[in-house]
Chain A
């Protein structure tokens, strides 16, 4: 991880950076979260209308500022028909203000990975408040309790859910983050398996203590190195590794994909057959919406929470668990997980056992390399 440079208090995000963010968020999506393309189209429209989004350092939040945490929840397939709409995201945030009688200083994303990496910008553009350069995962995860704020034991409620037909729902109180996941998932399914949500509001203090910092900047940086490498006809995968201190796990061709749904999640595995220096080996990737474990010739070589990213070998773009297919030539890389996810408490929420694998987490990276604060 390169050294953190302290960003100025507020700066405008450029249209070019949003294009880069969409690419970088898809890489950090670790296979899940859906493609950011539709969110990107929203942002292009908002910028064409003259709206602008300011990026704010989490360190510049006052302790008693309120920060909205947004996400589009539901099935990626439904997101392909009921398209992301910045006004819905904004409405979920307004509901929180009405219920709690607060004004938000800024907005942030629950997860930088996938389509939700752009959702916070969409809300910010509508509401005219800044986006905090932070999220609660530093990647993407499938469930509500798999966040840094849940690991921190912060209050899980209330959560608002909005459907543009005028259906507004609030999960007022739950005893745990897991209950928040169960209750909000049920509502989301009734809304048509998609909902614009605003999670429990966070104070500036909580974001400073428990947010994963500078992940928006990281996604933009990743997008830029991919764009630049493609412009120069250089290897975009190598460019990501160099920029983010990642490790290449495997290069090859997808030869098998098995998918099944259990408990409402997309689970399964993809098998990559080695090419070049990996010829003769096979890498199996197990997923629950996101890539969770990578097994080389039967032995686990990388697990959550380290980021396992499957990238198109040619373009460097992310490959999703729903779209991975036979014959794709892919490069599988690992990026260091945010430090908070690798603590004992963090591993309870997002380690291999949280996904049902009887494995210990052994990071591929030195502790100092953890992403974010």
Chain B
């Protein structure tokens, strides 16, 4: 299995080719405004290496394109919101907790109709099919092309959302429909927010993915395209066009997965030191631990499956206080090669300290000869202290764990940290994110309430659903492993109600039908 992994970050576009589990070659190129050019550059550079020519089985891309669109309020489209569950939740309609600028941009129209379910699976109210039809006609007349449908307790019973979608498609055959249960867990407002954001990104997703396809085809590569998700797994490109919010993935997710792969460690702490920040996370069974709470994206509350990360202002471009040796949080960022002392600039940075200390050999070492041994020691000690404190904050068990140091600024990690059994550095660690993209797996998830089952039976039922979903998403059934199981009894609910969340992941199944790249 030969795969190309590409990570399109804010500063760099990294590309790697892996064969089986071996990294054959990795390259870094500057990210470009149109994204596509950067990918073309990186692929051209990658293909210069003779071993990278020949057949490629898959191309996997990780990108921050979609999350940036939300954060920067760009490339978003008008959306109609259909909420099923009246007369409940009427006081808090769709968009009610959005930042007003984003709401104004995205909110085309809101329809609140009867429907939805109770926690025990009984219909809350019969679905107002006539109301859905009327809404569909109005949406069509207004020229809105993307709709988000959310129904109360749809994660337990999605039939109401599906019925409404079918009626919509009868009236507006070309409309893009997002169903909330495909995107979220219990928590109507957050799940609906995810669906609304997703609906607002559908056009952008279609154009971005087709640009990716074109860049790959223009590079002479004939292989199916996948996009990485927030949790470090992949989805087929045509699915990604339907669920752009699932690709909000940060480069850090791919970095952590790449670090796990390159080191062979499945349970470890990871620090990805970039130019401006260090992202600290925890690997469990080879996957980033997820944040278990509300994640705000561009000011909108969601419950996306995002890695639980701590970002601190410590990176290769961080300013260093010449008096105290304190590093960060300010950084020269992408201007490192102009502003740092070793590149002839005037700003003392963490990179200059590393060069002076002999940890790194870039730029002109003569320009940092004047730095005192005391300052170098103080700065490196400050970096050590910051990493030690924050790695400890992210650890979830006592005892010593290995720490994987990756990213372009990994030289800032010392050889020893209290609480860490060892500091592990890996070859190709500076392109760990692209490696993570290349080796990404396919996952399936369940999150629902089971009643009148023993705990073991409920967990098994949840795992079965998760496995089926993973296979439907393109995973090879035989390679599936359980990534996470979490169960929670529910206060007040009868019948030993147990909410079970389960996630499984496995390798990409060999495609029977080639994705039309």
**Chain A interface (Cβ < 8 Å from any Cβ of B):** 38, 41-42, 45, 74-78, 80-87, 142, 164-165, 185, 188-189, 192-193, 253, 255, 259-261, 264-266, 268, 273, 289, 322-323, 325-327, 329
In angstroms, Cα B499 to Cα A323, docked, is 13
Asked if A41 contacts B96 (CB within 8 A), the reply is yes
In angstroms, Cα B91 to Cα A185, docked, is 25
In angstroms, Cα B455 to Cα A260, docked, is 10
B377 interfacial contact with A, CB 8 Å: no
Query: With A81-B119, A259-B489 in contact, is A41–B186 under 8 Å at CB?
Result: no
In angstroms, Cα B493 to Cα A185, docked, is 10
Asked if B491 contacts A261 (CB within 8 A), the reply is yes
Asked if B491 contacts A164 (CB within 8 A), the reply is no
Contact residues of B between 470 and 517, Cβ < 8 Å to A: 487-494, 496-499
B368 to chain A, nearest CB (A): 33
Query: With A255-B396, A255-B397, A329-B393 in contact, is A185–B92 under 8 Å at CB?
Result: no
In angstroms, Cα B488 to Cα A266, docked, is 9
Given contacts A164-B90, A261-B491, list 5 more A-B pairs with CB under 8 A: A192-B120, A264-B491, A268-B489, A327-B308, A327-B395
Chain A residues in 8 Å Cβ range of B91: 42, 45, 83-87
Asked if B89 contacts A82 (CB within 8 A), the reply is yes
In angstroms, Cα B74 to Cα A372, docked, is 52
In angstroms, Cα B395 to Cα A164, docked, is 45
Asked if A164 contacts B189 (CB within 8 A), the reply is no
Chain A residues in 8 Å Cβ range of B153: 81
Which 7 pairs from chain A and chain B are nearest by CB?
A: A266-B491, A261-B489, A327-B396, A85-B91, A83-B89, A75-B492, A164-B87
B51 interfacial contact with A, CB 8 Å: no
B394 interfacial contact with A, CB 8 Å: yes
In angstroms, Cα B85 to Cα A266, docked, is 27
CB nearest to A164 among chain B residues: B87
18 pairs, A vs B, C-beta closer than 8 Å: A77-B491, A77-B499, A78-B119, A80-B187, A82-B85, A83-B188, A84-B91, A85-B92, A87-B91, A193-B493, A260-B489, A261-B490, A261-B491, A266-B489, A266-B491, A266-B492, A325-B292, A327-B394
Secondary structure at the A interface, as helix, strand, loop or mixed, is mixed
Chain A residues in 8 Å Cβ range of B119: 75, 77-78, 81, 192-193
Chain B residues in 8 Å Cβ range of A327: 282, 289, 308, 394-396
In angstroms, Cα B394 to Cα A329, docked, is 9
Chain B residues in 8 Å Cβ range of A77: 119, 186, 449, 490-491, 493, 499
In angstroms, Cα B90 to Cα A81, docked, is 11
Asked if B92 contacts A42 (CB within 8 A), the reply is yes
B152 interfacial contact with A, CB 8 Å: yes
A4 to chain B, nearest CB (A): 34
**Chain B contact residue count (CB 8 A cutoff):** 46
**Chain B interface (Cβ < 8 Å from any Cβ of A):** 85, 87-92, 96-97, 116, 118-120, 122, 124-125, 152-153, 186-189, 282, 289, 292-293, 308, 393-398, 449, 487-494, 496-499
Query: With A75-B492, A80-B187 in contact, is A192–B118 under 8 Å at CB?
Result: yes
Asked if A38 contacts B92 (CB within 8 A), the reply is yes
Partner of A76, one of B116, B491, B497: B491
In angstroms, Cα B152 to Cα A256, docked, is 32
Chain B residues in 8 Å Cβ range of A323: 292-293
Chain B residues in 8 Å Cβ range of A261: 489-491, 493, 496-498
Chain B residues in 8 Å Cβ range of A45: 91-92, 96
Chain A residues in 8 Å Cβ range of B125: 165
Chain B residues in 8 Å Cβ range of A142: 491
Query: With A81-B188, A255-B398, A259-B488 in contact, is A264–B87 under 8 Å at CB?
Result: no
In angstroms, Cα B397 to Cα A192, docked, is 39
A84 to chain B, nearest CB (A): 7
Chain A residues in 8 Å Cβ range of B293: 323, 325
Chain B residues in 8 Å Cβ range of A260: 489
In angstroms, Cα B87 to Cα A165, docked, is 6
Among B189, B488, B491, chain A packs the most CB atoms within 10 A around the CB of B491
Chain A residues in 8 Å Cβ range of B397: 255
In angstroms, Cα B486 to Cα A322, docked, is 12
Asked if A85 contacts B88 (CB within 8 A), the reply is yes
CB nearest to A273 among chain B residues: B398
In angstroms, Cα B492 to Cα A142, docked, is 10
Asked if B186 contacts A80 (CB within 8 A), the reply is yes
Partner of A189, one of B122, B187, B492, B498: B492
In angstroms, Cα B186 to Cα A164, docked, is 20
B156 to chain A, nearest CB (A): 9
B25 to chain A, nearest CB (A): 37
Chain A residues in 8 Å Cβ range of B395: 253, 327
Among A74, A83, A188, A325, chain B packs the most CB atoms within 10 A around the CB of A83
Chain B residues in 8 Å Cβ range of A81: 85, 88-89, 116, 119, 152-153, 186-188
Asked if B396 contacts A83 (CB within 8 A), the reply is no
Chain A residues in 8 Å Cβ range of B492: 74-75, 185, 188-189, 193, 264-266
B270 to chain A, nearest CB (A): 15
In angstroms, Cα B292 to Cα A83, docked, is 21
Query: With A75-B119, A78-B119, A82-B89 in contact, is A38–B491 under 8 Å at CB?
Result: no
Query: With A41-B96, A165-B125, A327-B394 in contact, is A75–B491 under 8 Å at CB?
Result: yes
Chain A residues in 8 Å Cβ range of B85: 81-82
Query: With A81-B152, A192-B118, A327-B395 in contact, is A75–B89 under 8 Å at CB?
Result: no
Among B120, B186, B490, chain A packs the most CB atoms within 10 A around the CB of B490
A73 to chain B, nearest CB (A): 9
In angstroms, Cα B193 to Cα A83, docked, is 14
